[in-house]
Amino acid sequence: MLKPLSYKNKFEKIYTENYSRLYYYALHIVGDSEVSKDILSDIFTRLWNNISNVELESVNAYLMTSIRHRAVDYLRRNILQNQYSEDYLKEATIYYIDASEEIEKDKLVEKMLSQLGPPTDKILEMHYLQQMKYAEVAEVLNISPETVKKHIMKALRILRELYNDEK
């Protein structure tokens, strides 16, 4: 029931080093800040209860898997349809596995947006952040769904090209 201080330190190290990254991972899937924090709270509770068996080398994989299960489960129960394909979830998991990846690629998005300018930024935000469908974005902006699609496809292409240039 009571754990030695060394466990407490070990736990805190894991918590502070990983919380932010794991929060965005959960948020990416569920799209709700409070729900993401609840999921993290549950998973860290389980981690704390098993802290004596936790190995630092494998803890990240364990946390990521748990979050993914819980987040997808939340979508299934509350949102009725799971919006993400297996491939997408796999890609997201790889992306959030270490923080350096995120920082580097976020910069590419910034570069891409500055190249394309409005209204691509608004379109991408509505489609990828608010998860509005092409037709919904089209209606808000008073353009055709085909135009929305073209903007998005171009953005994805430019992003890939920027990435290939860096390599």
Partner 1 sequence: MKDEINNQLNSDVDNTWQKVVIRDYFLKKAYPQPDVLTELKAFRKKQQSRRKTKVVFVSFGFLSGIVAALLILLFLHNWDLTSFFSSENRPLVAFQTRGGNSADEVTLQSGSAAVTVVGSSVSKLAQAGALLNAKEKKIVYAGNQNTAKVMMQTLSVPRCKTFKVVLSDGTEVWMNAQSQLCYPNRFTGKQRIVQLQGEAYFKVAHNVKCPFIVKTNQLQTRVLGTEFNLRSYSAIDAHVTLLKGSVEVSNALGTNKRKIKPGEDAQLTSNHSFVVKQVDTEEYSMWKDGYFYFDNVSFIEITQELGRWYDVGVVFNNRKAADTKLFFVADRHGSLQEAVDMLNKIKKVHIYLRNNQMIIE
- The helix or strand, by DSSP H or E, that contains position 32, with its residue range, turns out to be none
56 touching partner 1, by CB under 8 A: no
CA angle 8/10/11 to nearest 5° reads 65
Binding mask 19-48 for partner 1 (x = CB under 8 A): xx--xx--xx---xxxx-x--xx--xx--x
By CB under 8 A, name the one of 7, 59, 97, 102 that touches partner 1. 102
91 touching partner 1, by CB under 8 A: yes
Sign of the Cα torsion 34, 35, 37, 42 reads: positive
118 touching partner 1, by CB under 8 A: yes
By CB under 8 A, name the one of 5, 100, 164, 167 that touches partner 1. 5
Assign 3-class secondary structure to 47-101. Answer: HHHCHHHCCCCCHHHHHHHHHHHHHHHHHHHHCCCCCCCHHHHHHHHHHHCCHHH
Alpha carbon distance 23, 49 (integer Å)? 20
Applying CB under 8 A, the residues found at the interface with partner 1 are 1-2, 5, 12, 15-16, 19-20, 23-24, 27-28, 32-35, 37, 40-41, 44-45, 48, 78-80, 87-88, 91-92, 95, 102, 105-106, 108-110, 117-119, 122, 124-125, 128-130, 139-142, 153, 155-157, 159-160
